[in-house]
Structure 1
Amino acid sequence: MEDGYPQLLETFLEDSERRLSQLHEAKDASELGMAAHSFKGSSSNMGAMGLAALCQQLEERVRQQPLYGIEDLINRIDKEYLEVQRFYRDERQRISAQ
């Protein structure tokens, strides 16, 4: 796994960008819920538990109508992802330097 770790980090970062786009481009609660669910799973698998928890909150929130106020939660996901992204990019560089 050690040799594949940098690729795993890169795949997660690329995949996360697509998942964020899906959150922002969702046209209805169903699409938003599916995007949040997928992002929650990948974040959890990578140990980004804060991000996974926010995605779970969004997944649960879209089941309630009306959808007012979800913008704040999506903004929180965006901010948390920036922290996760920074951490994993630093981690990728650290591993590459060894």
Structure 2
Amino acid sequence: MKTIGLYDAKTKLSALIAEIEASGETIQLTRHGKVVAELSPPTPVSSPVRGCLKSANFSMADDFDASETGFEDFFNADDDQTPSMVAENKEKYES
């Protein structure tokens, strides 16, 4: 790791940035012999994965498209019986 004085870094900042881009190494900046800051290349930022199908932990059951057993009551209502989800009687309305 390279160290450079703060005054020299201020006057040669463009050259230091070019060196960091080329080598990828960190440069320490010193004031009176003590490290006060570091210049380093940016860390790569990964975008979040959107959508459940792209997730590493996504799994789908083998029988996801199997017959809907247990829901027969919802789909096979008797015609002469008013479904329980209707709040009002149809006979009150006149067309």
Q: TM-score, normalised by structure 2?
A: 0.24
Q: TM-score, normalised by structure 1?
A: 0.24
Higher strand share: 2
Higher helix share: 1
- Structure of larger gyration radius: 2
